[in-house]
């Protein structure tokens, strides 16, 4: 049995496109207000401490307004200026000069 170029092309398209769609990063739709799961990188320049958390954040008007932590704590817009979320990412700097780099993962609470 001889395999033709057309058959090879069909297999590549049939298997390749779904594979590509699975590995291409998806953009999170930030147009709706609510809770999103996010990777949050914390940096405190006074202490040099860096940490990364996967935590729920609250979004309003395409801006992060609150970062919730699993210990029950949070930081909200009363301690930082709102910044627009661009391509699923935003950075906020608190009134104590602590930086939070936020990357939204999906629009739901973190599991």
Q: Is the pLDDT of residue 59 over 70?
A: yes
Nearest residue to 105 via CA among 20, 26, 4, 51: 26
For 82-105, the pLDDT digits (tens) are 999 999 999 999 999 999 999 999
Instruction: Find all residues with CB under 8 Å of 37, minimum gap 6, and list them.
Output: 54, 55, 56, 57, 104, 105, 106, 107, 108, 109, 110, 111
Mean pLDDT of the residues in the chain: 88
């Amino acid at each position: 049995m001889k395999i033709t170029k057309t058959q090879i092309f069909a297999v590549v398209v049939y298997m390749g496109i779904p594979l590509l769609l699975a590995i291409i990063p998806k953009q999170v739709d930030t147009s709706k207000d609510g809770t999103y799961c996010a990777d949050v990188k914390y940096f405190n320049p006074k202490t040099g401490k860096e940490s990364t958390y996967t935590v729920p954040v609250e979004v309003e008007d395409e801006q992060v307004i609150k970062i919730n932590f699993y210990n029950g704590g949070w930081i909200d817009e009363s301690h930082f200026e709102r910044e627009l979320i661009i391509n699923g990412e935003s950075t906020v700097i608190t009134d104590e000069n602590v930086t939070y780099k936020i990357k939204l993962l999906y629009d739901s609470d973190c599991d």
